[in-house]
Amino acid sequence: MPAPQFPPLKNDLILRAARGEKTERAPVWIMRQAGRYLPEFREVRKSHEFFEVCRTPALAKEITLQPIRRYTGLIDASIIFSDILVIPQAMGMEVLMNPGPHFPEPLETPADVEKLTKVVDVNKELGYVFEAITQTRVALDGEVPLIGFVGAPWTLFAYMIEGGGSKTFQKAKTWIFKYPEESKALLMRIADVCVDFLVGQVKAGAQLLQIFDSWAGELSPHDFGIFSLPTLVHISTNVRSKLAAENIPVPPMTLFAKGANYALASLADSAGYDTLGLDWQVDPAEARRVTGGKVALQGNMDPNLLYGGRDAIESAVKRMCASFAVDGGPKAWIANLGHGITPGVDPEDVRWFFECVRKYSARS
């Protein structure tokens, strides 16, 4: 299949920041920027079920573009509308969204792994995401880069075993401590699907990649090193080598390991990512110090500050911009929230957030 041709990119701010460069202002986007806080999103969801939207490229494209249209010129990246749970689906599991994720038949014991699809053909199982990426990249007309993503193996493993969200992670923890070898094997199986899926997303048109390890913070530092980190290294190493083998340029890769701030120094040293995403529990200057300029940083305003009104948002953004600044301005920094935006936020307060980032991050 020949590589698709795309319109030239007009705004490469986020790519420059991810490469560690100084920028004239900080690029900004927000996690879950296409989501329930937008009335235009809720409108589409009235007549289409969540995974139906994910599986219909024209709808996924439309929703991806909603925040780009609403905040024209204020937002520096788009992220393809999909979900991390499309990988468990591709591996043969049923996943419903009502309103949170629900797996009717989670993995109960290692014997259940036999039920998963042996060899996952991502083109067959996840081709709809590739098609959505290609259509969206064309429709973006080069306004901003398009981010592709996957869930990290530990986070996906936890969903596949817990069968949904969890407060205690008792079932997933039972697996890793009772069946450590079987757990590691399953985690690596998931990692291999992540690699093929990310490579496919780049071929389809993704210009930056993000790995979401949303539940990294549930592991102790020791167990993160055993059950998550090796899979994250496997992904970065193999995505890079597989793309290089086909002479395809490797896009910047971001790792968002939520709650794993204890691991920032080692992730910066050796995980193989260009950018580390930060949650709001870490002070930006401290994150900069421990990562020693080896990686770019992304984040990290508490998403709930968006409920605090204009003054609270403005002073938090001002503080964030000052705290991330290097030599009097933004360098190797992508402004974002410290986790996804939540449904009750007023879209006009989001506009204010973008405007404040633009104002306070500008290099004087």
Q: Binding residues for ligand CP3, per CB under 6 A?
A: 31-36, 45, 50, 79, 81-85, 97, 99-101, 149, 165, 212, 214, 339-340
CB of 128 to ligand CP3, least distance (A): 14
Q: Would you call 36 a catalytic residue per the annotation?
A: yes
Show the DSSP H helices in 77-121 as ranges: 86-90
- Under DSSP, is residue 334 helix (H, G, I), strand (E, B) or coil? strand
Distance between terminal CA atoms of the chain? 47
Question: Per the structure block, which two tokens stand in for 305?
Answer: 């500050």
CB of 50 to ligand CP3, least distance (A): 5
Q: Are 149 and 210 in contact (CB under 8 A)?
A: yes
When the beta carbons of 92 and 344 are compared against ligand CP3, the nearer one is 344
Percent of the chain that is helix, strand, coil (3-state, to 5): 50, 10, 35
DSSP single-letter state for residue 326: B
Q: With b meaning 16 or more CB within 10 Å and e meaning fewer, what string describes 86-105?
A: bbbbbbebebeeeeebebee
When the beta carbons of 85 and 129 are compared against ligand CP3, the nearer one is 85
Q: Which of 12, 16, 32, 351 is labelled catalytic?
A: 32
Question: Per the structure block, which two tokens stand in for 58?
Answer: 């024209």
Q: Would you call 358 a catalytic residue per the annotation?
A: no
- Under DSSP, is residue 301 helix (H, G, I), strand (E, B) or coil? strand
Show the DSSP H helices in 151-305 as ranges: 153-162, 170-178, 180-204, 221-227, 229-245, 264-270, 284-291
Q: Which of 37, 71, 76, 159 is labelled catalytic?
A: 159
When the beta carbons of 84 and 350 are compared against ligand CP3, the nearer one is 84
Cα 87 from chain centre: 14
CB of 7 to ligand CP3, least distance (A): 22
CB of 325 to ligand CP3, least distance (A): 26
Check whether the bond before 300 is cis (ω within 30° of 0).
yes
Q: Which of 16, 36, 240, 363 is labelled catalytic?
A: 36
CB of 167 to ligand CP3, least distance (A): 13
When the beta carbons of 81 and 360 are compared against ligand CP3, the nearer one is 81
DSSP single-letter state for residue 74: T
Residue nearest to ligand CP3 (CB): 214
Active centre residues (catalytic): 32, 36, 45, 83, 159
